[in-house]
């Protein structure tokens, strides 16, 4: 068994080719598979289903333990596009949002964002949020 999470993926910029994005994400996820594995064909079908749900349905419920590494790679394939991946784990307090831009990322929970605002700034929330993302991209 593993830990399931509900993932929601979006991109903040118009003009991205979603079919190309689906193919690139599929290729990235496929790289983690061993072609000599007896379950390789079954794993490919699972990955295709996962990608289709994320890209075309904007939601995937399941396991994706390498989402940070995979999404950083996807964002490198589409420089200038900001990807947003939101997760809700099995536990009620396991909620987070991550942003990916040109191979960099920032992930936060509500608590981490609030703490950052309290300790650093007092001002416009939207501006603060953008600054938070920019200052925490890795």
Q: What does the DSSP 8-state code read for residue 81?
A: P
Q: Confidence class of residue 114 from pLDDT cuts 50, 70 and 90?
A: low
Domain residue limits at 78 = 5-103
Confidence of residue 93 (pLDDT cuts 50, 70, 90): confident
Residue 123 lies inside a defined structural domain of this protein:
no
Q: Which two tokens stand for residue 54?
A: 């994320």
Model confidence, pTM? 0.80
- Reply yes or no on whether the pLDDT at 44 is more than 80: yes
Listed range (19-23, 40-44, 116-120) with the worst mean pLDDT: 116-120
Domains contained in the chain, number: 1
The band of 133, judged by pLDDT with boundaries at 50, 70 and 90, is: confident
Does 66 map to a domain? yes
Burial of 45 per CB tally in 10 Å (0-12, 13-18, 19+): exposed
Does residue 114 sit within a domain?
no
Would you say residue 125 lies in a domain? Answer: no
């Amino acid at each position: 068994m593993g830990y399931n999470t509900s993932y929601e993926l979006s991109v903040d910029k118009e003009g991205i080719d979603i079919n190309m994005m689906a193919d690139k994400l599929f290729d990235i996820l496929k790289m983690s598979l061993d072609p000599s594995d007896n379950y390789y064909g079954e794993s490919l079908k699972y990955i295709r289903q996962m990608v289709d749900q994320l890209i075309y349905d904007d939601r995937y419920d399941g396991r994706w333990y390498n989402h940070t590494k995979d999404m950083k790679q996807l964002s490198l394939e589409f420089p200038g596009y900001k990807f947003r991946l939101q997760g809700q784990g099995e536990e009620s307090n396991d909620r987070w949002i991550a942003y990916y831009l040109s191979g960099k990322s920032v992930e936060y929970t509500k608590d981490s964002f609030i703490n950052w605002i309290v300790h650093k700034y007092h001002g416009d929330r939207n501006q603060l949020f953008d600054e938070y993302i920019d200052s925490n991209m890795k």
